Amino acid sequence: MNEPLRPMNLGEILDRTALLYRSRFLVFIGISLIPTVVILVLACGFFLLLSYAGLGMNAAPPTQSADTLAVLSILVLFLVAMPAYLVMTALGTAAINQASARVPQEEGISIYDAYKAVWQLKWRYLWLYLLQVLIAWVAPFAVWAGLQVLTIYLAIVAQDAGMQNLAFKAVFGSAEALVGASLIAYGLWITMRLSLAFPACAAERIGAWAAVRRSITLSNGTKGRIFVVYLLGAALHILLSMGITIPLVIAMYLFPWFNDPQHSQTAGVIVLLVLYGSAFAAHAFTRPVYGIALTLFYYDQRIRQEGYDIERMMETAGMHAPSPPLIAEEPAAPESPQEAGA
């Protein structure tokens, strides 16, 4: 699979992604399963705590123990589950990029090797993932939240001024919908621009901010192709999730125990866990598709913009041109007769 580097169109990148995924399927799925299983266990524990507390599942007033479990569930979510999700997602994404960069060059790679290479720069990858989340989604959400506060304030001012509440809601509702759609479009657009940051960070071993700037530069001219890959990955995720969920739910409801009203609450929790487990399983299978495809896009853009294929051929042939000095050395001034005599 050590093919010559050359620019590829979208169809060739998709074919190459499928070929690389099949060639090292166990490695890629193993890398993807580790963060998925950790996150799934934490999510199941959170929902089990909520279900045990009886939140929203019966009409009886909540007891003190139920309130305590509810608070404990929220603490587990924000103090354990969310940090673990961020860390495992960042490390898993970086590990897939490590494997994706080595497989085409026929370099041996294992699950342990990928995570070992990533673990050495774990804080860099975590900071890079946080930057992507902050830039692409937290910033638009902060703008939307500020708009909600402004809308409430203006509604109070309008009511005090005697303005019609219906007209106010119509005007500001339309403006809010327009701003919301714009923020979603911004989130998608900036996600495409930042999508090559992890491949750049893994391949060039640069810092998080440098990888963000590198991705913005390399993504010029290929954001539409990357968006198509994201759409195809989302469609594949939905199909896999449905293919796993529907047979399992049908099989469960064939047992009389699930139709017993006495076990309706427990059956509902089991179905909920099956639904979430199916979604996580589908995510584990589709995550390498994104990693491999984005790594191929990264190298494809380097070939198109920087002549990376020529650079690699020169390296293979041993033709390393010496880098010029940053500052040219000035010739030494001739010594004066007095200095020479001294």
Residue range 15-50, pLDDT digits in tens: 999 999 998 899 999 999 998 888 878 777 766 666
Separation CA 135–CA 190 (nearest Å): 8
Residue matched to tokens 């074919």: 15
The number of residues making up the chain comes to 342
Average pLDDT over residues 54-65: 49
User: What are the backbone dihedrals phi and psi of residue 111, each rounded to the nearest 5 degrees, phi first?
Assistant: -60, -45
pLDDT at 324: 42
Nearest Cα to Cα of residue 32 among 283, 296, 209: 283
HSE-CB for 223 with a 13 A CA cutoff: 13
Q: Would the pLDDT of 59 be above 50?
A: no
Cβ 25 vs Cβ 284: under 8 Å: no
For residue range 190-223, list pLDDT tens digits in order.
999 999 999 999 888 899 999 999 999 999 989 9
Per-residue pLDDT averaged across 46-64, rounded?
55
Residue 337 clears pLDDT 50, i.e. is over it = no
**What token pair was written down for 216?**
């913005």
Domain ranges in the chain are 10-130+221-306
Residue 52 has a pLDDT of 63
| Most confident stretch, 36-50, 69-83, 157-171, 190-204 | 190-204
More confident residue, 146 or 126: 126
Question: How would DSSP label each residue in 252-270?
Answer: HHTSGGGG-GGGHHHHHHH
Dist CA 169 CA 111 (whole Å): 55
Pair 298, 203: CB distance under 8 Å: yes
Q: What are the start-end ranges of the E strands in 29-85?
A: none
Indicate the DSSP class of residue 325: P
Tokens of 312: 């690699």
Measured CA to CA in angstroms, residue 312 lies from 104, 205, 244, 262 at distances of 14, 17, 43, 68
Residue 278 has pLDDT above 90, yes or no: no
DSSP class of 59: S
Is residue 313 predicted with pLDDT exceeding 50?
A: yes
Residue 94 has pLDDT above 80, yes or no: yes
Residue position matching structure tokens 């790594």:
295
pLDDT at position 174 over 50: yes
Name the DSSP class of 327: S
Q: Which helix (H) or strand (E) holds 7?
A: none
Q: What is the mean pLDDT of residues 272-276?
A: 75
Segment 225-271, tens digit of pLDDT:
999 999 999 999 889 888 888 887 787 777 766 666 666 666 666 77
User: What global pTM score does this model have?
Assistant: 0.78
